[in-house]
Structure 1
Amino acid sequence: MSDSQRIQHIEAARKLISSLQTNEEKMYELTYAQPIVFAILQTGLDVGLWAGWTKAGGHAMTISELCQVCEREIDPKLLSRMLRLLAAANIIEEIGEDTFKSTPFSLACGDDGSFIPRSIQCSTHHFVMTDITLPKYLAEIGYKNPDDPVKSGYAFWEPGHRDFFARCMAEPDSQNFFSGWMRCWTDQKLPWPVYFDTNTLVEGADLSAAPLCVDIGGHHGIDLSRVVDKHPDLPNGSLVLQDLPECLSEVKGLSEKITMMPYNFFTPQPVKGARSYYLHCVLHDWPGDKARLLVENIANAMKKGYSKLLINDIVMPRTGASLTQTVMDMQCMALGSAYERTEPMWTSLLQEAGLKIVKIWPDGRGYESLIEAELA
């Protein structure tokens, strides 16, 4: 089964379940079941259950044995109740009375090498409170479409009224949790060189003058690593990873073909005349003037007839948008007063910066696309 077929089956299964549920069953799941399942999943992380169980090998264990592997003392009766819930939610397996077995997901929750634990912490630390307080925030602003990233739904509840990125930059844990979530999110995507022909960049590229690709706001460097995987003969230093110093400080194990460069994308782009400039889920964080400034900084560094701007992001369809696309649109709104853009919105943004769309390359999964643009 192909990846796109697998996703189609998941969507079909969601529709089937929804069609079978009564209104009351659907209400119960949304308002009562899902919030408590996540809360207990997080509690398992807090007491060290997942880490201890994974370290012990993940085999079937009794409640008393599982209490022993926890880092913090926990009442066996409480743990038993928690695990019954998580078994019913398919997080773990129940194989007997007060006896449970791990799953690949629960093992990942306790794996230090996995980004799953940090993703859970990110939701608790950032997303949950933003979503809970969103109705009050929207009422406060008179139900207008949010457009100020500083006065966002996130800043509405955050104790210091800081916006999302300001808090991440001020608190290492906040950034660490977000970085883990970002890595998980990126890992499950289709690598962009699979659906965009990167050979068109390599062909005709003058790497003695400027890099092949500058990944702006590229965080862990995974997207450039995928270019290295496809083009292993690229010379060292032909790829540039740009991000804030706080983000680059945690990056490890990159190829020598990738050079790290601290950079704030709201300032002029220092790398001139590169073959391509790449943005992966960066512009959906920024509305209006902020997005325009970011694109203009890139356009001013591009070489006409040679440089490409590659925007790897969601292109919202006018109808039939997926759950993933619409969830991301609403979360971008809640967290930073931003949004996912339709093709006309992308066209308008790029035209304002003196660029034009050459082609849109869909990922084949109905999720992201790669927008290829150049100077008009």
Structure 2
Amino acid sequence: MSSSGIASLRQLASVINSAIDTIENAYSDASLDFPSLEAPHFNSTDPEEALLQDSTVSSAVLNIIAAASQLSATVTSPVASALNAAQMFNVSSCLRAASELNVVELLRAAGPEGLHAKDIAAPSKNDPAFIARMLRLLATHNIFREVKPNVFANNRISAVLDKGKPANVLYEKRSERLVGTNGATAFLELVTDEIFKSMAYLTETLLDRKEGEIPFNRAFGTDQVMFDWLHRPENAWRLQRFGLGMAGTAMTETNDALFTGFEWSSLPAGSVLVDVGGGIGNTAMTIAQKNPSLRVVVQDLEHQVALGKLHWEQSFPAHVKNQMVEFQGLNFFDPQPVKNASIFMVRYVLHDWNDARAAQLLRRLREAAQPTTRLVVIEKIVALASSVSSGEEEAIPGAARPSAPAPLLPNWGVASTEAYFYDMAVYSVMGSGARTLGNFIDLFAEGGWKLVKVYHCSGSQLSHIVGVPI
């Protein structure tokens, strides 16, 4: 290897060492110990876990993940790297099986000493030898621990998937096993089922293109869009899992991330916040609880807003009693009925629709907007992997974001991979996906809006993208 190659390895090692020093100092100052991978439990509110959300610590963590991955990619045989990447579907398959077989809950009851594969396999009447092989693959990827031959225990990563119920209850009441959970397991199963199966047909869909067809259609033998397909009676359990899984994505956000972007408190009393496609209006409620002078309109399909009204009556009854919140059943591709909106908030909606449909939605909002109305789109903005800037970030206030230190990839590489997985996932099941800043600029213009500001929220992968009427 050339000296420049060795120099690159040294640089990567230096990035890792410097980041470890930063983390060590932060934990030492807080008189805390860094969480152990071997810990058989996980609680995001534990002080040791909460400190990982500190901006200084989280930045150091990004550098470690990016540098360690790039270092590994540099020194590993390219053939081995390519073939290992091609076979990562085995991890996905085994993760879903472990979740559906309630392995985490069985191991939680067994404690740190672990449980033999024959006892793990017994409730589902599976082959203990294969269960051991499956869990050994996961343990090799640092999910679960093999504490002695064929005996397995939870670790900090597997514990994230704990449904919080006894394993025997989960087996007896299978249709209710995800109800009451934090949603992390539901999201994992959604990813390793509908999305995984859809992505398996990506190549066929690209090679044999049919107008309007996406991988999901081939995987499940339907011409329906996923949302319609989920509402079939036979898919009731999948629909339940989808809803719980979407709620589970909140675990990736810090509690106050929503308030590190657009300045909701700057809105005058009586301002009207319209939560477009807002489901039960949970995001709007979070904003209104801190800003009770805001009037809120929650818009979604009839069954969703009916659930939303119940949710608000239970969780924020004062706003309901004071008639400061309204619930409107609406297809957001239809004309927008609210003509006095201060803010149209569109959170986690546009990624579900291709550019033509997303622009149609935005045009409906533009038709109803006043000159002072603001559009706030809350979505992930996909960063480029190129070190060459498009120049668009410099032109939009707030859009520029830090770049990883050399010799890391400018977008922190594998450390930011969740956003790119998400992009592919949404494409596979909806035919759309996440967008770059340039994509958003074009989409806003097509919908009658000018993108004027971006807030990259601390503790979140979501950004608040602000537009004004053209």
Which amino acid letter does the alignment assign opposite residue 104 of structure 1? R
Partner of 1:363: 457
SS at match of 1:341: coil
Structure 1 residue 301 and structure 2 residue 368: aligned? Answer: yes
Structure 1 residue 214 and structure 2 residue 269: aligned? Answer: no
1:129-140 to 2 correspondences below 5 Å: 129-140=197-208
Structure 1 residue 255 and structure 2 residue 349: aligned? Answer: no
Using the TM superposition, give the Cα deviation of residue 92 of structure 1 relative to its aligned residue in structure 2, in angstroms.
0.9
Partner of 2:38: none
| Alpha-carbon separation, structure 2, partners of 1:159 and 1:57 | 42
Partner of 2:183: 115
Q: Percent same amino acid among aligned pairs?
A: 20
Which amino acid letter does the alignment assign opposite residue 116 of structure 1? A
Give the direction of change, closer, same or farther, for the CA distance of 1:37–1:247 in structure 2 (3 Å limit): farther
Which amino acid letter does the alignment assign opposite residue 120 of structure 2? C
Q: Tell me which moved more, 280-289 or 347-356.
A: 347-356
Check conservation: 1:94, 1:101, Cα contact below 8 A: yes
SS at match of 2:338: coil
| Alpha-carbon separation, structure 1, partners of 2:460 and 2:297 | 29
Using the TM superposition, give the Cα deviation of residue 57 of structure 1 relative to its aligned residue in structure 2, in angstroms.
6.6
From 300, 306, 313, give the equivalent of 1:243: 300
Which amino acid letter does the alignment assign opposite residue 96 of structure 2? Q
Check conservation: 1:63, 1:79, Cα contact below 8 A: no
| Alpha-carbon separation, structure 2, partners of 1:138 and 1:311 | 30
Check conservation: 1:52, 1:110, Cα contact below 8 A: no
Q: Tell me which moved more, 320-329 or 153-162.
A: 320-329
Structure 1 residue 200 and structure 2 residue 266: aligned? Answer: yes
Check conservation: 1:214, 1:241, Cα contact below 8 A: yes
| Alpha-carbon separation, structure 2, partners of 1:277 and 1:238 | 12
| Alpha-carbon separation, structure 1, partners of 2:417 and 2:159 | 27
Which amino acid letter does the alignment assign opposite residue 442 of structure 2? S
Give the direction of change, closer, same or farther, for the CA distance of 1:332–1:43 in structure 2 (3 Å limit): closer
| Alpha-carbon separation, structure 2, partners of 1:174 and 1:295 | 30
Give the direction of change, closer, same or farther, for the CA distance of 1:331–1:140 in structure 2 (3 Å limit): same
Using the TM superposition, give the Cα deviation of residue 42 of structure 1 relative to its aligned residue in structure 2, in angstroms.
1.5
Normalised to the residue count of structure 1, the TM-score between the two structures is: 0.83
Give the direction of change, closer, same or farther, for the CA distance of 1:64–1:139 in structure 2 (3 Å limit): closer
1:89-100 to 2 correspondences below 5 Å: 89-100=141-152
Structure 1 residue 16 and structure 2 residue 110: aligned? Answer: no
Give the direction of change, closer, same or farther, for the CA distance of 1:180–1:7 in structure 2 (3 Å limit): farther
Q: Tell me which moved more, 42-51 or 314-323.
A: 314-323
Give the direction of change, closer, same or farther, for the CA distance of 1:67–1:327 in structure 2 (3 Å limit): closer
Using the TM superposition, give the Cα deviation of residue 186 of structure 1 relative to its aligned residue in structure 2, in angstroms.
3.3
Partner of 2:469: 375
Check conservation: 2:107, 2:153, Cα contact below 8 A: no
Check conservation: 1:4, 1:364, Cα contact below 8 A: no
SS at match of 1:224: helix
Partner of 1:60: 113
| Alpha-carbon separation, structure 2, partners of 1:199 and 1:308 | 14
SS at match of 2:368: coil
Partner of 1:181: 245
Structure 1 residue 165 and structure 2 residue 227: aligned? Answer: yes
State the superposition RMSD in angstroms. 2.9
Using the TM superposition, give the Cα deviation of residue 197 of structure 1 relative to its aligned residue in structure 2, in angstroms.
1.9
Q: Deviations over 1:118-169 (max 9, x none)?
A: 1122123311111111001100118xxxxx6x42222233222322222123
Check conservation: 2:277, 2:349, Cα contact below 8 A: yes
Q: Tell me which moved more, 251-260 or 21-30.
A: 251-260
Q: Point out the structure with max Rg over C-alpha.
A: 2
Which amino acid letter does the alignment assign opposite residue 155 of structure 1? N
Figure out how many residues of one structure are paired with residues of the other and give that number: 357
| Alpha-carbon separation, structure 1, partners of 2:139 and 2:456 | 37
Using the TM superposition, give the Cα deviation of residue 324 of structure 1 relative to its aligned residue in structure 2, in angstroms.
3.4
Structure 1 residue 288 and structure 2 residue 355: aligned? Answer: yes
Check conservation: 1:287, 1:338, Cα contact below 8 A: yes
Check conservation: 2:352, 2:430, Cα contact below 8 A: yes
| Alpha-carbon separation, structure 1, partners of 2:147 and 2:364 | 58
SS at match of 2:224: coil
| Alpha-carbon separation, structure 1, partners of 2:242 and 2:113 | 32
Using the TM superposition, give the Cα deviation of residue 58 of structure 1 relative to its aligned residue in structure 2, in angstroms.
4.7
SS at match of 2:126: coil
Check conservation: 1:118, 1:176, Cα contact below 8 A: no
Which amino acid letter does the alignment assign opposite residue 122 of structure 1? L
| Alpha-carbon separation, structure 1, partners of 2:266 and 2:118 | 57
| Alpha-carbon separation, structure 2, partners of 1:240 and 1:187 | 26
Check conservation: 2:117, 2:129, Cα contact below 8 A: no
Which amino acid letter does the alignment assign opposite residue 308 of structure 1? R
Structure 1 residue 353 and structure 2 residue 457: aligned? Answer: no
Partner of 2:95: 41
